[in-house]
Structures are given as structure tokens and as C-alpha cells.
Amino acid sequence: MSTPDSVLVRYGEIGTKTGGVRGRMEGILRTNVAAALRSRGIEADAERIHGRILLETDAAEAAAGVAAEIPGVVSTSPARRVAADAETIYGALATLAAERDGAFDSYAVRAHRGWDAFDVPSPELEREGGAAVGDVVDAGVDLDTPEVVFEVDVRQSGAFVFADRLSGPGGLPVGSQTPLVALVSGGIDSPVAAFEAMCRGSPVVPIYVDLGAYGGADHRARAIAACERLAMRAPNHLEEMVLVDGGDAIADLVERFDGGRMLAVRRYFFSVAEAIADAEGAVGIVTGEVLGQKSSQTAGNLCVTSAATELPIHRPLFSVDKPEIVRRAAELGTDAEASIAAGCNRLAPSRPETNGRLEDQRSAEPDDLFERAARDAAGAERVSI
């Protein structure tokens, strides 16, 4: 039997960094993968080998699936380690092909040598390995568009034989950049935006602002559920979220505003986020805003709301179409939470402002809006996720 006993974890952008930075990021990624496996109850030994992270485990299929969810990982493969010997490799490829579930009409063999001292060239490994596979399957060779690709990765410690690659999110490992805070509502957009920031290396501190009578338990529940999904991708970096009671402030803004209400609410959110960022040592705010998607997200209104804070506001989805955001939410697994009915639509005014002016907005807002935001942030609740 060719039961996999190892997982090859590949990364991409990390490999373009200079030596010291690359080594640091490889170490962070290894730690993150190991933490994710522990959080799912999967035992594995993780080590760095040249250009890869190698997992040794009795649960290779499950481990490959978990590792493929981790920011910084480009792909994973559950593999069988055999001796770095040509004849042994050919036999392992043939066994893997013979035990392959499901019929296939075409195949190819790809070889990668990560050990310079191995004296069989990659083209020969592919040719002879392909012949060995052809002896045990009823399929033809197709080097351009094969249905199945059988692969071998030769290392000094052994050769790894496999036929599956699970795609990962790529990017950089969480913890390789400075933290950011992320405003998360639990809708489609904001969890995806937070994950995009995580995939660029920043740990995120999720912030949910409770809207009081304009939100409700369902609104809060879906935000917590979405953050729990995010935490599964970086359990050693994302352990809690911040819940802010904004009910009284929101009620006052609803009473005071109609057209500019959502601008005032967003400015209050950003002020809350800035205060929490200061407390958490974070250097920016992440939101799920998309240019033109809502009345508060027109170019003019984004200028008005952004002026509420001195911190940079990062909008990873700024120019992304909604269908693509929905697709990413499905991949992340937060689309189910976003479909939970919530009452926050009651907050929207009858005639929303689409091109606000900063001075008009400031003059209409309560003088103590930002002070109130700071007090609400100071009284926030930390919830384990």
C-alpha cells in the first residue's frame, strides 16, 4: 500500500525574500502550520527543508487539508516517502498509479530534484517513471493536459511520491507584519477583507460594534461565527475578538440624522477602531468597503468617513466585484454565516447621502462623537474565539 505518511507544504512569495527575511518567514510559517494542526487535534512533526515545509504524520490527508488553509501556503501534497533510489521511485510511482481511485484516460509524470547529488536527471525520472506507470494502468501519456499528474520530489532525506496538490491562499505568513484591527460585521465583505490582510502577513484584531436595537443577537452571532472561521486559519495569532457596545451612540445618531446617518455611523466606527488599535499596538484599520457598493462607499463619502481617523484605512476589496467577493467568502467558509438573517437594514436612512461634504458632516455631528467612541472602546468586551 502507498498510504501517505508525509505532507509537502509549498510556499511562493516567501522564496523571493533575501536570506535572513526568508528564514524568519519560513520559521513563522512552520509555527503557524503546526499550531493549526494542533488546534484540529492532528499530530505531526513539522520541519523546514529547502524550499518546503515537511510534515510527518499518520494523518497526512487531513494534515494536507488543514495546512492548505494557512496564509503563506501555496499548495500541499500528501505524499509517501521512499528511498532516494531510481528503481524504488519507479516502483512507488507504479504502486501509486495502480491504487489511484477512479478511472483516468491520460497521465504525466513530473520530477523535481531538490538534492543536487542525486545522479538521475529529472527528464530520465519522468520518462522511466512514466513507463512504470504505463505498465500498470490503461491510460496514455499526455504531457500537455493530463488528467492525473504523478509527481516525485527528490530530497537528501528521501523521495516523496504523490499525485495530488491542494491549493492554498498564498501570500505571507500571519505574524510577519505588524497587527491591524479589522471591523467585522459578519456580512459577506468584512471577513473576506480581514482574511486578505492576514494573507499579507498581518495578525488582525477583529472588532464588532453592537448596534443595539438596530442589530440584535442574530447580527452579533454571525459576526462571532465569522471570526471563529478566521481564527481557524491562524489560531496562534487570532485568539479573541473585541465586542463594543455601540447601541446608545447608534440610537442617538439615528435620531439626529437622516441623509448623513451612515456617514456618521462609519465615522463613529473608525473612531472606535482607532482607539482599540492604539490599545492593541495595531497600525491600521481594515474594512470590507468596496468603491461604489453602498451609499457610504462612494468616492466622496469614503473621503468623509476616512477623515475620522489618523490611521490608514486598508480596503483590500476596494475594486473587487461582488461575485468574486462571494466566491472568496465561500472558499473561506464565511458565506453561511453571512446568510443568517439580521436586522441591521433598519439602520439605513430613507434618503442616504451619496456625496457628503466633510464640513457639513462635522457640523451636524454631536460634538462629543469621538469622545463617546473612545469611552465605548475602553469598555469593550474581549471574547475568546
Segment 225-252 mean pLDDT = 96
**Cβ atoms 326, 335 nearer than 8 A:** yes
Residues 335 and 207 reside in one and the same domain: yes
Q: What is the reported pLDDT for 343?
A: 47
Residues 229 and 373 reside in one and the same domain: yes
Q: What is the reported pLDDT for 347?
A: 75
**Model confidence at 348, in pLDDT bands (50, 70, 90)?**
confident
Distance of CA 38 to the CA centre of its chain: 18
State the residue range of the domain holding 22.
6-167
CATH of the domain at 291: 3.40.50.620
Q: What is the reported pLDDT for 338?
A: 64
Residues 317 and 206 reside in one and the same domain: yes
Segment 339-354 mean pLDDT = 68
280's torsion region: left (phi>0), alpha (psi -120 to 50) or beta? alpha
Segment 298-317 mean pLDDT = 97
Instruction: Assess if residue 364 is contained within a domain.
Output: yes
Compute the distance between CA of residue 156 and CA of residue 255 in angstroms, rounded to an integer: 71
Q: How many structural domains is the chain composed of?
A: 2
Segment 196-225 mean pLDDT = 93
Residues 319 and 236 reside in one and the same domain: yes
DSSP run (H or E) holding 322: helix 322-332
Instruction: Assess if residue 172 is contained within a domain.
Output: no
**Model confidence at 1, in pLDDT bands (50, 70, 90)?**
low
Bridge-based pairing state of the strands 73-82 and 6-11: antiparallel
Residues 106 and 206 reside in one and the same domain: no
Q: Is the pLDDT of residue 217 over 80?
A: no
Instruction: Assess if residue 68 is contained within a domain.
Output: yes
Q: Is the pLDDT of residue 346 over 90?
A: no
Residues 128 and 272 reside in one and the same domain: no
Residues 127 and 209 reside in one and the same domain: no
Bridge-based pairing state of the strands 106-113 and 148-155: parallel
Last-in-domain residue among 113, 134, 167 = 167
What's the Cα-to-Cα distance from 308 to each of 181, 267, 358, 362, rounded to whole Å? 15, 5, 10, 10
Q: What is the reported pLDDT for 135?
A: 96
Compute the distance between CA of residue 150 and CA of residue 62 in angstroms, rounded to an integer: 20
Instruction: Assess if residue 173 is contained within a domain.
Output: no
Calculate what percentage of the chain has a pLDDT beyond 70.
97
Residues 219 and 341 reside in one and the same domain: yes
Instruction: Assess if residue 352 is contained within a domain.
Output: yes
Q: What is the reported pLDDT for 209?
A: 97
Segment 89-118 mean pLDDT = 94
Residues 227 and 269 reside in one and the same domain: yes
Q: Is the pLDDT of residue 125 over 70?
A: yes
Residues 320 and 361 reside in one and the same domain: yes
Residues 85 and 219 reside in one and the same domain: no
What is the rounded radius of gyration, in angstroms, for the C-alpha atoms of the chain?
A: 25
Q: What is the reported pLDDT for 153?
A: 97
Q: Is the pLDDT of residue 381 over 60?
A: yes
Q: Is the pLDDT of residue 379 over 60?
A: yes
Instruction: Assess if residue 324 is contained within a domain.
Output: yes
Last-in-domain residue among 125, 143, 167 = 167
Compute the distance between CA of residue 27 and CA of residue 32 in angstroms, rounded to an integer: 9
Compute the distance between CA of residue 377 and CA of residue 126 in angstroms, rounded to an integer: 61
CATH of the domain at 28: 3.30.2130.30
**Model confidence at 79, in pLDDT bands (50, 70, 90)?**
very high
Q: Is the pLDDT of residue 311 over 70?
A: yes
pLDDT digits (tens, 9 = 90+) for 25-58: 999 999 999 999 999 999 999 999 888 999 999 9
Compute the distance between CA of residue 107 and CA of residue 146 in angstroms, rounded to an integer: 5
Full 3-state SS string of 154-180: EECCEEEEECCCEECCCCECCCCCCCE
Instruction: Assess if residue 175 is contained within a domain.
Output: no
Residues 163 and 199 reside in one and the same domain: no
Segment 84-113 mean pLDDT = 95
Instruction: Assess if residue 263 is contained within a domain.
Output: yes
* DSSP per residue, 73-138: EEEEEEEEEE-S-HHHHHHHHHHHHHT-SS--SEEEEEEEE--TT--S-HHHHHHHHHHHHHTTSS
Mean pLDDT, rounded, of the chain: 94
Kindly tell me the number of DSSP H helices and DSSP E strands found in the chain.
13, 15
Last-in-domain residue among 112, 139, 167 = 167
